[in-house]
Structure 1
């Protein structure tokens, strides 16, 4: 994927400006942001790429980076047909589904209570991920690379960026698959142990379902070039996941069947980025408020969501005005375009 030079400089200004607006910063920090922008303009006259070969040159040293206690692992996972079946999905506490270029989908899996032996295929990060992950305390982000114009923002984000460039020993290639769908992560190489439930600062409440709801057997969410379906299974006490009309499979666990699925309606706007084919990179707005549907226990519940700031988790409110509780276990959050 690429960002042409006339777009690259604009991306640097927009991204850093957004960073400054959403954080309490000192004059020195603002000066550093301006310096980064100037450096980006001088150093990115040619096309940048979004891929495995362009990764952050370093991870900045911040207080607390030496310790990952209470810090979850987030992994960008490929979700096109050539990447399936994936590995490690069953161990994730939360799986976020987002739209990417060409109307396709990609996953961001968050691990706190369990670390699988392997996760993948691992793919590249997006600007939206930086805002989404601010709800966690210094999360570790595992990703294959990013557009060159995005690298300064990743370097400055309050997270531990761990690409193959920064942690080569944590990744390996599956020789039985074709690149770029063959990069895998060994989580134990990045975190000594799972940090535990306390690291899941998502704002999600868990408990009994509220009264009401509508019985449903399945729910489908469509992107321009991707389709996700969730079918209720009483035997699994969860929603069987299908991707583009085929059962979602995992090489190291049973078919994903999250007890709770959230269809969260958000603004998906066009960002200044685009890929090599000229397809714009979507930006998913996860801060704000809107409506949602929560699937649990074979029923669909209308709800509203609110996330006032990027450092907050997302609160879900049921139709009766009380908290919308989730069922215990894995949660899938599908970001659907608001209409």
Structure 2
């Protein structure tokens, strides 16, 4: 598929939210058919949770201009997403509820790109290795991540190198600044 920035009309801004939360992509402009499930989950594994984990019912990841909070719902067996303190809803008005949330700690540096005001766009380094927290089933599991090159998926493993399985359902990967 072609790079989104090079395709005429691939991006559009919605009128119901303020920037930057109103930028959307038209996938059909980039590829004639939807990718297979394998392409969408390259490196992801689904199944039983690893042993251990620590109970956790809420996690917030903060950025300079936004915050995302994931609250565990035992009734729904999902994480309820809020953005900047307000429930995050689909365009149909349903709550966004991933089954697994991965907080992947990465290096974030300045890129060569700037907006019209001269602010530098951050560059998130997702090739390499580091740590991650995997939230599923109301628990957090410490994990390691590794991605050898941009064409590869990311592997998530336990400290002893065993794959970390995600819960069946939607997975959110949230990049956070490594300390």
Q: TM-score, normalised by structure 2?
A: 0.85
**Correspondent of 2:103 among 236, 249, 263:** 263
After TM superposition, list the pairs within 5 Å mapping 1:231-310 onto structure 2: 231-252=71-92, 254-310=94-150
* Runs of 4+ residues deviating >4 angstroms: 171-193
Pairing partner for 2:69 from 213, 223, 229: 229
Q: Distance in 1 between matches of 2:111 and 2:29?
A: 33
Contact kept in structure 1, 2:61 and 2:69, CA below 8 Å: yes
Residues 1:194 and 1:278: Cα distance change in structure 2 (over 3 Å): closer
| Cross-structure match for 2:177 | 337
Determine which structure has more spread, i.e. the larger CA radius of gyration.
1
User: Runs of 5+ in structure 1 lacking a partner?
Assistant: 1-137, 146-160
1: distance between equivalents of 2:157 and 2:44?
Answer: 10
Contact 2:106 2:126 in 1 (8 A): yes
Question: What is the aligned partner in structure 1 of residue 158 from structure 2?
Answer: 318
Instruction: Work out the CA distance in 2 between the residues paired with 1:313 and 1:305.
Output: 10
Question: What are the equivalent positions in structure 2 for 1:77-96 lying under 5 Å apart?
Answer: none
- Paired with 1:300 and 1:233, the residues of 2 have a C-alpha distance of 14
The DSSP-based 3-state class of the residue aligned with 2:90 is coil
Give the total of aligned pairs. 179
Give the Å deviation of 1:241. 0.6
Which residues of 2 match residues 201-216 of structure 1 at below 5 A? 202-216=42-56
Residues 193, 215 of structure 1: CA spacing in aligned structure 2 closer, same or farther, 3 A cutoff?
same
Q: Once the two structures are superposed, what CA deviation does each residue of 1:95-124 show, in whole Å capped at 9, x if it has no partner?
A: xxxxxxxxxxxxxxxxxxxxxxxxxxxxxx
Measured in 2, the distance between the counterparts of 1:286 and 1:228 equals 20
Q: Matched residues in 2 for 1:225 and 1:281: separation?
A: 13
- Superposition deviation, residue 186 in structure 1: 5.2
Please point out which of 8, 13, 26 is paired with 1:163: 8
**Structure-2 residue corresponding to 1:94:** none
Q: More helix per residue: 1 or 2?
A: 1
- Stretches of structure 2 that go unaligned for 5 or more consecutive residues are none
Secondary structure of the corresponding residue to residue 281 of structure 1: strand
**Post-superposition CA distance 1:302-334 (Å, at most 9, x none):** 001011111211111113431111111111111
* Displacement after TM superposition at 1:280 (Å): 1.4
* Greater share of strand: 2
For 1:224 and 1:178, the matched residues in 2 are separated by 16
Structure 1 vs Structure 2 CA RMSD: 2.7
CA distance in 1, matches of 2:108, 2:19: 29
